[in-house]
Amino acid sequence: MTDPMPTGQVAAPPGGRLLALAKRGAEHLLWGRVAVQRRLEARTKGARPVPTSVPPTGVLTDEATWRRATEEARRLRLPLHRDLPKNWDALGAVAAVLDLVDDGTRSARVMDAGSARYSPVLPWLRLFGFGAAPGSLIGINLEFGRQVTRDGVVFRYGDVTDTGLPTGHLDAITCMSVIEHGVPLEGFVAESARLLRPGGVLVVSTDYDQDPPDTTGKVIYGSQVHIFSPDEIRDLVAMADRHGLELVGSIDETTLAHSERPVHWARVDLDYTFILLTFRRR
Protein backbone atom coordinates (compact mmCIF):
# COMPACT_ATOMS: atom_id res chain seq x y z
CA MET A 1 0.00 0.00 0.00
CA THR A 2 2.99 2.27 -0.41
CA ASP A 3 3.33 2.85 -4.15
CA PRO A 4 2.25 6.36 -5.22
CA MET A 5 -0.36 6.61 -7.92
CA PRO A 6 1.09 7.42 -11.35
CA THR A 7 0.77 11.17 -11.92
CA GLY A 8 -1.82 12.05 -14.54
CA GLN A 9 -2.46 8.43 -15.53
CA VAL A 10 -5.27 7.14 -13.32
CA ALA A 11 -8.66 7.06 -15.01
CA ALA A 12 -11.71 8.49 -13.29
CA PRO A 13 -13.96 5.81 -11.80
CA PRO A 14 -16.68 4.86 -14.30
CA GLY A 15 -20.20 5.63 -13.13
CA GLY A 16 -19.21 8.45 -10.78
CA ARG A 17 -18.26 8.71 -7.13
CA LEU A 18 -21.37 7.10 -5.61
CA LEU A 19 -21.01 3.99 -7.74
CA ALA A 20 -17.29 3.89 -6.88
CA LEU A 21 -18.16 3.96 -3.16
CA ALA A 22 -20.68 1.15 -3.61
CA LYS A 23 -18.06 -0.92 -5.43
CA ARG A 24 -15.56 -0.26 -2.66
CA GLY A 25 -18.06 -1.55 -0.09
CA ALA A 26 -18.66 -4.70 -2.15
CA GLU A 27 -14.90 -5.16 -2.45
CA HIS A 28 -14.32 -5.09 1.30
CA LEU A 29 -17.22 -7.48 1.98
CA LEU A 30 -15.92 -9.91 -0.65
CA TRP A 31 -12.32 -9.99 0.53
CA GLY A 32 -13.34 -10.16 4.17
CA ARG A 33 -15.39 -13.25 3.37
CA VAL A 34 -12.53 -14.80 1.38
CA ALA A 35 -10.04 -14.34 4.22
CA VAL A 36 -12.36 -15.84 6.82
CA GLN A 37 -13.52 -18.68 4.59
CA ARG A 38 -9.98 -19.58 3.60
CA ARG A 39 -8.93 -19.89 7.24
CA LEU A 40 -11.96 -21.97 8.15
CA GLU A 41 -11.45 -24.32 5.21
CA ALA A 42 -7.77 -24.74 6.07
CA ARG A 43 -8.81 -26.34 9.35
CA THR A 44 -10.99 -28.96 7.68
CA LYS A 45 -8.36 -29.81 5.04
CA GLY A 46 -11.02 -31.07 2.65
CA ALA A 47 -10.20 -31.00 -1.06
CA ARG A 48 -12.22 -28.48 -3.05
CA PRO A 49 -13.64 -30.09 -6.23
CA VAL A 50 -12.57 -28.60 -9.56
CA PRO A 51 -15.33 -26.87 -11.58
CA THR A 52 -16.39 -28.78 -14.69
CA SER A 53 -19.56 -27.21 -16.14
CA VAL A 54 -17.95 -24.54 -18.37
CA PRO A 55 -15.58 -25.47 -21.25
CA PRO A 56 -12.46 -23.36 -21.89
CA THR A 57 -13.86 -22.05 -25.18
CA GLY A 58 -17.53 -21.60 -25.94
CA VAL A 59 -20.59 -19.36 -26.12
CA LEU A 60 -23.14 -18.82 -23.38
CA THR A 61 -26.05 -20.27 -25.33
CA ASP A 62 -28.99 -19.81 -22.97
CA GLU A 63 -30.17 -18.88 -19.48
CA ALA A 64 -30.12 -22.48 -18.27
CA THR A 65 -26.37 -22.62 -18.94
CA TRP A 66 -25.46 -19.66 -16.73
CA ARG A 67 -27.85 -20.87 -14.07
CA ARG A 68 -26.09 -24.26 -14.07
CA ALA A 69 -22.69 -22.56 -13.71
CA THR A 70 -23.99 -20.33 -10.92
CA GLU A 71 -25.32 -23.35 -9.04
CA GLU A 72 -21.97 -25.11 -9.42
CA ALA A 73 -20.16 -22.05 -8.06
CA ARG A 74 -22.55 -22.03 -5.12
CA ARG A 75 -21.88 -25.74 -4.43
CA LEU A 76 -18.14 -24.99 -4.53
CA ARG A 77 -18.67 -22.31 -1.86
CA LEU A 78 -17.47 -19.54 -4.16
CA PRO A 79 -18.85 -16.03 -3.52
CA LEU A 80 -21.14 -15.29 -6.43
CA HIS A 81 -20.94 -12.32 -8.77
CA ARG A 82 -24.13 -10.34 -8.21
CA ASP A 83 -24.61 -10.15 -12.01
CA LEU A 84 -25.40 -13.85 -12.15
CA PRO A 85 -24.55 -14.58 -15.83
CA LYS A 86 -20.98 -13.42 -15.07
CA ASN A 87 -20.51 -16.50 -12.92
CA TRP A 88 -20.46 -18.52 -16.16
CA ASP A 89 -17.32 -16.99 -17.66
CA ALA A 90 -15.61 -16.58 -14.27
CA LEU A 91 -16.09 -20.28 -13.58
CA GLY A 92 -14.74 -21.15 -17.04
CA ALA A 93 -11.66 -18.99 -16.47
CA VAL A 94 -10.88 -20.55 -13.09
CA ALA A 95 -11.47 -24.04 -14.48
CA ALA A 96 -9.04 -23.32 -17.34
CA VAL A 97 -6.32 -22.20 -14.91
CA LEU A 98 -6.85 -25.28 -12.74
CA ASP A 99 -6.98 -27.70 -15.66
CA LEU A 100 -4.39 -26.28 -18.06
CA VAL A 101 -1.83 -24.54 -15.84
CA ASP A 102 -1.86 -25.84 -12.28
CA ASP A 103 0.54 -28.68 -11.48
CA GLY A 104 -1.11 -29.42 -8.15
CA THR A 105 1.04 -26.99 -6.16
CA ARG A 106 -1.19 -23.93 -6.70
CA SER A 107 1.99 -21.95 -7.39
CA ALA A 108 1.00 -20.49 -10.77
CA ARG A 109 1.47 -16.76 -11.35
CA VAL A 110 -1.82 -15.31 -12.62
CA MET A 111 -2.74 -11.79 -13.71
CA ASP A 112 -6.30 -10.55 -14.12
CA ALA A 113 -6.06 -7.90 -16.87
CA GLY A 114 -8.48 -5.00 -16.54
CA SER A 115 -9.40 -6.34 -13.13
CA ALA A 116 -11.92 -5.05 -10.62
CA ARG A 117 -11.23 -5.68 -6.95
CA TYR A 118 -14.80 -6.95 -6.46
CA SER A 119 -14.87 -9.32 -9.47
CA PRO A 120 -14.72 -13.08 -8.83
CA VAL A 121 -11.74 -14.62 -10.65
CA LEU A 122 -8.94 -13.66 -8.24
CA PRO A 123 -10.93 -14.31 -5.03
CA TRP A 124 -11.98 -17.70 -6.40
CA LEU A 125 -8.38 -18.57 -7.28
CA ARG A 126 -7.39 -17.52 -3.76
CA LEU A 127 -9.97 -19.90 -2.30
CA PHE A 128 -8.56 -22.68 -4.47
CA GLY A 129 -5.19 -22.11 -2.81
CA PHE A 130 -3.38 -19.86 -5.30
CA GLY A 131 -1.60 -16.72 -4.15
CA ALA A 132 0.50 -18.08 -1.28
CA ALA A 133 3.67 -16.58 -2.80
CA PRO A 134 3.75 -12.76 -2.65
CA GLY A 135 2.76 -11.21 -5.97
CA SER A 136 1.68 -14.47 -7.59
CA LEU A 137 -1.90 -13.18 -7.98
CA ILE A 138 -2.17 -9.69 -9.43
CA GLY A 139 -4.92 -7.50 -10.86
CA ILE A 140 -4.19 -4.47 -13.03
CA ASN A 141 -6.41 -1.66 -14.23
CA LEU A 142 -6.03 1.90 -15.50
CA GLU A 143 -8.50 2.95 -12.78
CA PHE A 144 -6.29 1.84 -9.90
CA GLY A 145 -4.23 4.40 -8.03
CA ARG A 146 -2.16 3.34 -5.06
CA GLN A 147 -1.27 -0.33 -4.92
CA VAL A 148 -3.42 -2.25 -2.45
CA THR A 149 -3.34 -5.85 -1.26
CA ARG A 150 -6.41 -7.92 -0.46
CA ASP A 151 -5.72 -11.24 1.30
CA GLY A 152 -2.39 -11.55 -0.47
CA VAL A 153 -3.67 -10.46 -3.91
CA VAL A 154 -1.99 -7.35 -5.34
CA PHE A 155 -4.02 -4.74 -7.23
CA ARG A 156 -2.12 -1.96 -8.97
CA TYR A 157 -2.24 0.48 -11.84
CA GLY A 158 -1.48 -1.18 -15.15
CA ASP A 159 -2.11 -0.96 -18.88
CA VAL A 160 -3.10 -4.29 -20.45
CA THR A 161 -1.14 -3.36 -23.59
CA ASP A 162 2.04 -2.35 -21.71
CA THR A 163 2.27 -3.87 -18.23
CA GLY A 164 5.98 -3.44 -17.56
CA LEU A 165 6.21 -7.03 -16.28
CA PRO A 166 9.10 -9.27 -17.41
CA THR A 167 8.79 -11.44 -20.51
CA GLY A 168 7.56 -14.96 -19.72
CA HIS A 169 6.67 -13.93 -16.17
CA LEU A 170 3.14 -15.35 -16.03
CA ASP A 171 1.55 -18.79 -16.15
CA ALA A 172 -1.94 -17.45 -16.89
CA ILE A 173 -3.78 -14.27 -17.77
CA THR A 174 -7.51 -13.77 -17.40
CA CYS A 175 -9.38 -10.86 -18.97
CA MET A 176 -13.09 -10.78 -18.20
CA SER A 177 -15.43 -8.44 -20.10
CA VAL A 178 -12.71 -5.88 -20.81
CA ILE A 179 -11.69 -5.94 -24.48
CA GLU A 180 -15.07 -4.67 -25.70
CA HIS A 181 -14.45 -1.35 -23.94
CA GLY A 182 -12.09 0.21 -26.46
CA VAL A 183 -9.00 -1.91 -25.75
CA PRO A 184 -6.48 -1.91 -28.65
CA LEU A 185 -6.69 -5.60 -29.53
CA GLU A 186 -3.33 -5.99 -31.27
CA GLY A 187 -1.50 -4.39 -28.37
CA PHE A 188 -3.35 -6.50 -25.81
CA VAL A 189 -2.75 -9.77 -27.64
CA ALA A 190 0.92 -9.00 -28.27
CA GLU A 191 1.53 -8.06 -24.63
CA SER A 192 -0.29 -11.16 -23.37
CA ALA A 193 1.81 -13.40 -25.62
CA ARG A 194 4.99 -11.69 -24.36
CA LEU A 195 4.06 -12.15 -20.71
CA LEU A 196 3.12 -15.83 -20.88
CA ARG A 197 5.68 -18.60 -20.52
CA PRO A 198 5.45 -21.43 -23.07
CA GLY A 199 2.34 -23.46 -22.24
CA GLY A 200 0.77 -20.58 -20.34
CA VAL A 201 -2.86 -19.69 -20.97
CA LEU A 202 -4.85 -16.57 -21.79
CA VAL A 203 -8.56 -16.66 -20.97
CA VAL A 204 -10.71 -13.90 -22.46
CA SER A 205 -14.43 -13.27 -22.18
CA THR A 206 -16.31 -10.56 -24.03
CA ASP A 207 -19.77 -9.42 -25.08
CA TYR A 208 -20.88 -11.33 -28.16
CA ASP A 209 -23.84 -12.01 -30.43
CA GLN A 210 -24.28 -14.05 -33.60
CA ASP A 211 -26.20 -11.04 -34.97
CA PRO A 212 -25.11 -8.05 -32.83
CA PRO A 213 -27.76 -5.46 -31.99
CA ASP A 214 -27.29 -1.84 -33.06
CA THR A 215 -25.28 0.05 -30.42
CA THR A 216 -25.28 3.45 -32.14
CA GLY A 217 -25.40 6.23 -29.56
CA LYS A 218 -24.92 3.88 -26.62
CA VAL A 219 -21.79 5.03 -24.78
CA ILE A 220 -20.41 3.53 -21.57
CA TYR A 221 -17.06 4.17 -19.86
CA GLY A 222 -16.15 6.75 -22.49
CA SER A 223 -16.55 4.53 -25.56
CA GLN A 224 -19.40 3.23 -27.68
CA VAL A 225 -20.77 -0.12 -26.57
CA HIS A 226 -19.30 -2.87 -28.71
CA ILE A 227 -20.65 -6.39 -29.05
CA PHE A 228 -18.39 -8.74 -30.99
CA SER A 229 -19.70 -10.49 -34.10
CA PRO A 230 -18.70 -13.98 -35.33
CA ASP A 231 -16.36 -12.47 -37.94
CA GLU A 232 -14.67 -10.32 -35.30
CA ILE A 233 -14.17 -13.36 -33.09
CA ARG A 234 -12.59 -15.23 -35.99
CA ASP A 235 -10.30 -12.24 -36.61
CA LEU A 236 -9.33 -12.18 -32.93
CA VAL A 237 -8.48 -15.89 -32.97
CA ALA A 238 -6.38 -15.43 -36.12
CA MET A 239 -4.59 -12.45 -34.55
CA ALA A 240 -3.82 -14.47 -31.43
CA ASP A 241 -2.45 -17.29 -33.57
CA ARG A 242 -0.08 -14.88 -35.33
CA HIS A 243 1.29 -13.97 -31.90
CA GLY A 244 1.83 -17.59 -30.87
CA LEU A 245 -1.42 -18.09 -28.96
CA GLU A 246 -3.29 -21.22 -30.04
CA LEU A 247 -7.00 -21.58 -29.32
CA VAL A 248 -7.92 -24.35 -26.88
CA GLY A 249 -10.96 -25.94 -28.49
CA SER A 250 -12.51 -24.71 -31.72
CA ILE A 251 -14.99 -22.23 -33.12
CA ASP A 252 -17.22 -22.79 -36.14
CA GLU A 253 -20.73 -21.93 -37.26
CA THR A 254 -22.24 -24.34 -34.75
CA THR A 255 -20.18 -23.32 -31.72
CA LEU A 256 -20.66 -19.61 -32.45
CA ALA A 257 -24.46 -19.97 -32.47
CA HIS A 258 -26.76 -19.43 -29.50
CA SER A 259 -30.45 -20.14 -29.02
CA GLU A 260 -31.13 -17.23 -26.64
CA ARG A 261 -29.76 -13.82 -25.69
CA PRO A 262 -29.44 -14.57 -21.97
CA VAL A 263 -27.62 -11.36 -20.96
CA HIS A 264 -29.47 -8.06 -20.47
CA TRP A 265 -27.53 -4.83 -19.84
CA ALA A 266 -30.14 -2.55 -18.30
CA ARG A 267 -28.07 0.64 -18.50
CA VAL A 268 -28.05 0.50 -22.30
CA ASP A 269 -31.13 -1.73 -22.78
CA LEU A 270 -29.35 -4.38 -24.84
CA ASP A 271 -29.73 -8.15 -25.00
CA TYR A 272 -26.82 -10.34 -26.16
CA THR A 273 -24.57 -13.06 -24.73
CA PHE A 274 -20.96 -13.82 -23.74
CA ILE A 275 -18.17 -15.77 -25.39
CA LEU A 276 -15.22 -17.37 -23.60
CA LEU A 277 -11.94 -17.96 -25.45
CA THR A 278 -8.93 -19.78 -24.02
CA PHE A 279 -5.53 -19.70 -25.72
CA ARG A 280 -2.30 -21.54 -24.96
CA ARG A 281 1.15 -20.02 -25.60
CA ARG A 282 3.13 -22.10 -28.06
> Does residue 6 lie in a domain region?
no
Q: What is the CATH number of the domain that holds 36?
A: 3.40.50.150
> Does residue 78 lie in a domain region?
yes
Q: Looking at residue 264, what DSSP letter applies?
A: E
Structural domain of 262: 18-42+53-281
| Burial (Cβ within 10 Å: 0-12, 13-18, ≥19) of residue 34 | buried
- How many residues does the structure list for the chain? 282
DSSP conformation letters of 180-206: TTT--HHHHHHHHHHHEEEEEEEEEEE
> Does residue 213 lie in a domain region?
yes
Task: Please give the model's pTM, rounded to 2 decimal places.
Answer: 0.92
> Does residue 275 lie in a domain region?
yes
For the chain, the C-alpha Rg in angstroms (whole number) is 18
> Does residue 170 lie in a domain region?
yes
For the chain, the domain total comes to 1
For residue 166, give every residue at least 6 positions away whose Cβ sits within 8 Å of its Cβ, in sequence order, or none.
none
> Does residue 252 lie in a domain region?
yes
Task: Give the pLDDT of the chain (282 residues) as one tens digit per residue.
Answer: 333 334 444 444 555 677 677 778 889 999 999 999 999 998 886 778 999 999 999 999 999 999 999 999 999 999 999 999 999 999 999 999 999 999 999 999 999 999 999 999 999 999 999 999 999 999 999 999 999 999 999 999 999 999 999 999 999 999 999 999 999 999 999 999 999 999 999 999 999 999 999 999 999 988 999 999 999 999 999 999 999 999 999 999 999 999 999 999 999 999 999 999 999 999
> Does residue 3 lie in a domain region?
no
Looking at residue 16, its pLDDT comes to 65
> Does residue 4 lie in a domain region?
no
